[in-house]
Amino acid sequence: MDATDKDAPVAVVTGAASGIGLAVTKFLVARGYRVVMADWNDELAKKESTALGDQTSVIKCDVASWDSQATMFATAIKIWGRIDVVHANAGIPDQLPLFHDNSIEPQKPKTLAIEVDLYGVIYSTSLALFYIRQNKGRGGKIIITASQAGVYPLATGPLYAAAKSGCINMMRSIAKSCAKEQIYVNCICPGLTDTGLTHNAMDQFPKNIVAPMENHIRTIETFLDTDIYGAAMESDAGGLFNRQKPDYWSPEHQAWLESDETADAWEKGGPLGSSQLGSDHR
């Protein structure tokens, strides 16, 4: 497909210079997408973009910065004129040690993993919704890279696990209402994968637990080709598994938590809609 084809869909992929983000970018290009490769390492992204051709563009972006992401999305619109798919994929591991520091004085935890892996996804999702809503009824897709560590505990990465589980529950909390606008939001939850984050340690793990990249691409393909929403799809060496949210203790409880009326109730009588929220909870 010609990169000048204004009918070709446009995807934004964060963390696109390597790993899962690069694999997804290549897959999207093969399907005729024009792809914005957003990455902090723009030099590596440019090298990969050159190999992929003029269906890609590179924008340097720090996903932990709202301003950086806002500029990146606005630039993407200037380049391609539309955004149909956003893959909020960029992530980093914990900065160890966290809770096992033997320093004499207490040390402030290093929370960059939360800033990148959770706040960054929140920023990407907010901006994705803003721009996809401008698609005049076409809707779109938002895919969040969570992790197996968002489903299960991760002893070596508690903040990484906290961020990824936060991504999953944020996705579940907005997916139903977004689907009413034909915006379908899902999470891919990869298992251990040979990427830039893990490559140097891969020899330490049994090969039969390493998730093949093909399974991750199958998950992305499922999200693109169907109207599924609210899925937390674990993509692992054993296959794909849609991990369900926990059971509610009663149907009434489920109806209350998942109803749009809950927001109205909080707005009228609860602290969440109150202007005092900031001062009352400092």
User: Among residues 210, 87, 91, 213, which one has the least CA distance to residue 143?
Assistant: 87
Q: How confident is the model at residue 252 (pLDDT cuts 50, 70, 90)?
A: confident
Residue 200 and residue 260 in one domain: no
Range from 30-44, 178-192, 257-271 carrying the lowest mean pLDDT = 257-271
Do residues 262 and 126 both lie within one domain?
A: no
- The CATH number linked to 21 is 3.40.50.720
Specify if 170 maps to a domain: yes
CA–chain centroid gap for 281, Å, is 28
**Token duo for residue 273:** 């809609």
Q: What amino acid occupies position 236? A: D
Residues 29 and 47 in one domain: yes
Let me know whether 71 and 121 are in one domain: yes
Instruction: Decide if 29 contacts 217 (C-beta within 8 A).
Output: no
3 within domain boundaries: no
Residues 50, 113: one domain?
Answer: yes
**Pairwise CA distance, residues 193 & 209, whole Å:** 9
242 & 266 share domain: no
Within a domain: 4 = no
Q: pLDDT for 186-233, tens place per residue? A: 999 998 886 766 656 656 665 666 888 999 999 999 999 999 999 999
Give a yes or no: residue 113 inside a domain.
yes
**Residue 182, token pair as written in the block:** 């034909």
Q: Over the stretch 139-170, which tens digit does the pLDDT of each residue have?
A: 999 999 999 999 999 998 999 999 999 999 99
The residue that leads in pLDDT, 56 or 209, is: 56
Taking the C-alpha atoms of residue 22 and residue 30, their distance in angstroms, rounded to an integer, is 12
User: Are 70 and 127 within 8 A, CB to CB?
Assistant: yes
pTM of the model: 0.89
CA angle 7, 17, 216 (to 5 degrees): 75
As for how many domains the chain has, the answer is: 2
Cβ(184)–Cβ(141) below 8 Å: yes
Catalytic positions, written as ranges: 160
